[in-house]
């Protein structure tokens, strides 16, 4: 069957503009990708403007070709790179992962206007500066954050570490990654302890507890000054709770039905731990009721080991307190229960000084934000304190909000 010559001419006419367009597009890409030694910056800029206009009407395959061609270039116009970086992930992926011309502002611009898949691609970059990490955290896409945390060339600000610690409350698997970061502070770790798994708790206690020797040495004389003032200043009193050398509350014995912390634990072992006996143990141990309640109801039990070591209790009192809480200490005569054995190991490994610091930090951070007056939203200083206070943040995260007695 003969082909209509008119039809052939019309098809050729339809193909010719597309062939010319494709050729022009590739030539412009070549020009934009040239090294600076071969093309003046003015010419590259003009070529980039024309190329970008063509990319608006290009096919997906053409944009993919352009993006891949520009991945290794360091002089390509950034407007072109930003546009390609915001196209579909098929176009943008390699460019976002590898192109070194994209700076912090470009990456943040793209992150705020694109998809979670784009965030994952950016998180795989060789280096992630603080501002880009901040934006990744603000977006809150957990897979991208996981990739960011695994990178040893990502640099995370303290404010982002605050947010990541809070995010780990609902994503506990992030705790292990955060503990290994150099940016993790004792405040972050000791707060995160309360929702971490047993391996992470052990690492936190071993890595982040301190002996506060320098604080005691520098501030030791202030205890006498505070005593001479009758401990009338609440701010001083709360602050010195963290620094004081002695852990047990000697004055509490005068008001207690028990002659010692040991006697209170012995009674609890016989009768079972009640709310009243738990409160007495907390008073004699020198901690606030809210701290005692948190420790004595903690399912993991590592905090029990810290309490016993910090207060100088012998190891058999650790077992007695454990039994008083109706938790199994043995699975047979002389055979320790694996859960208790793990708690006992933490007791053995921690020094008294570090256990005391940990216990005092918990007591300070969990209790010092209680009984506060409601924040006046018009009070700038009060609002600022609310934003920056470590103890307020800890109480909010651990208890779900700052409570009042």
> What sign has the CA pseudo-torsion 238, 243, 247, 248?
negative
**Spans in the chain with pLDDT lower than 70:** 1-17, 216, 241-247, 368-389, 391, 400-405
Q: CB neighbours of 277 closer than 8 A, spacing ≥ 6?
A: 264, 267, 268, 271, 324
Question: How far is it, in rounded angstroms, from Cα 311 to Cα 359?
Answer: 9
Q: What are the Cα distances from residue 270, in Å, to 262, 282, 309, 319, 321?
A: 13, 18, 22, 13, 10
Report pLDDT for 372: 45
Strand partners, 87: none
- Whether 32 contacts 44, CB under 8 Å: yes
- Whether 328 contacts 336, CB under 8 Å: no
Question: How far is it, in rounded angstroms, from Cα 286 to Cα 311?
Answer: 9
Report pLDDT for 44: 87
Report pLDDT for 374: 47
Question: How far is it, in rounded angstroms, from Cα 48 to Cα 100?
Answer: 18
pLDDT in tens, 194-223: 999 999 999 999 999 877 777 767 887 887
**SS3 of the chain:** CCCCHHHHHHHHHHHHHHHHHHHHHHHHHHHHCCCCCCCCHHHHHHHHHHHHHHHHCCCHHHHHHHHHHHCCCCCCCHHHHHHHHCCCHHHHHHHHHHCCCCCHHHHHHHHCCCCHHHHHHHHCCCCECHHHHHHHHHHCCHHHHHHHHHCCCECCCHHHHHHHHHHCCCCCCHHHHHHCCCCCCHHHHHHHHHHCCHHHHHHHHHHHCCCCHHHHHHHCCHHHHHHHCCCCCHHHHHHHHHHCCCCCCHHHHHHCCCCCHHHHHHHHHHHCCCHHHHHHHHHHHCCCHHHHHHHHCCCCCHHHHHHHHHCCCCHHHHHHHHHHCCCCCEEECCEECHHHHHHHHHHHHCCHHHHHHHHHHHHHHHHCCCCCCCCCCCCHHHHHHHHHCHHHHHHHHHHCCCCCC
Report pLDDT for 403: 40
Question: How far is it, in rounded angstroms, from Cα 148 to Cα 125?
Answer: 9
Report pLDDT for 316: 94
CA torsion, points 101, 107, 109, 112, in degrees to nearest 10? Answer: 160
pLDDT in tens, 94-134: 999 999 999 999 999 999 999 999 999 999 999 999 999 99
In percent, the amount of the chain with pLDDT more than 90 equals 64
Query: At residue 259, what are phi and psi to the nearest 5 degrees?
Result: -85, -10
Give pTM, 2 decimals: 0.81
């Amino acid at each position: 069957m003969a082909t209509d010559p008119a039809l052939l001419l019309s098809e050729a006419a339809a193909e010719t503009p597309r062939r010319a367009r494709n050729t022009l597009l590739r030539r412009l890409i070549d020009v934009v990708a040239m090294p600076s030694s071969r093309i003046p910056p003015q010419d590259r800029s003009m070529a980039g403007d024309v190329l970008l206009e063509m990319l608006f009407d290009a096919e997906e395959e053409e944009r993919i070709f352009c993006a891949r061609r520009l991945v290794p270039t360091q002089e390509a116009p950034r407007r072109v790179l930003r546009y390609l970086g915001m196209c579909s992930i098929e176009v943008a992926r390699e460019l976002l992962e590898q192109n070194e011309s994209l700076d912090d502002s470009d990456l943040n611009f793209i992150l705020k206007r694109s998809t979670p898949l784009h965030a994952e691609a950016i998180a795989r970059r060789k280096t992630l500066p603080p501002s880009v990490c901040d934006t990744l955290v603000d977006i809150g896409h957990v897979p991208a954050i996981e990739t960011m945390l695994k990178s040893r060339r990502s640099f995370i600000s303290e404010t982002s570490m605050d947010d990541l610690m809070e995010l780990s409350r609902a994503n506990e698997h992030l705790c292990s990654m955060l503990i290994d970061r150099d940016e993790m502070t004792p405040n972050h770790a000791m707060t995160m302890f309360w929702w971490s798994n047993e391996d992470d708790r052990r690492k936190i206690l071993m890595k982040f507890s301190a002996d506060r020797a320098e604080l005691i040495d520098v501030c030791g004389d202030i205890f006498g000054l505070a005593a001479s003032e009758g401990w009338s200043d609440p701010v001083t009193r709360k602050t010195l709770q963290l620094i004081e050398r002695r852990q047990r509350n000697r004055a509490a014995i005068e008001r207690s039905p028990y002659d010692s912390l040991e006697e209170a634990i012995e009674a609890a072992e016989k009768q079972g731990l009640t709310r009243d006996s738990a409160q007495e143990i907390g008073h004699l141990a020198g901690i606030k009721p809210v701290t005692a309640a948190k420790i004595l109801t903690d399912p993991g039990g590592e905090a029990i080991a810290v309490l016993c070591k910090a207060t100088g209790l012998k190891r058999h009192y650790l077992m007695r307190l454990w039994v008083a809480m109706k938790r199994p200490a043995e699975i047979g005569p002389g055979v320790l229960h694996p859960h208790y054995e793990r708690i006992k190991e933490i007791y053995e490994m921690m020094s008294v000084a570090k256990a005391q610091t940990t216990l005092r930090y918990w007591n300070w951070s969990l209790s010092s934000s209680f009984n506060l007056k409601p924040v006046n939203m018009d009070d700038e200083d009060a609002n600022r304190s609310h934003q920056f206070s470590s103890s307020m943040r800890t109480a909010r995260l651990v208890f779900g909000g700052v409570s009042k007695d």
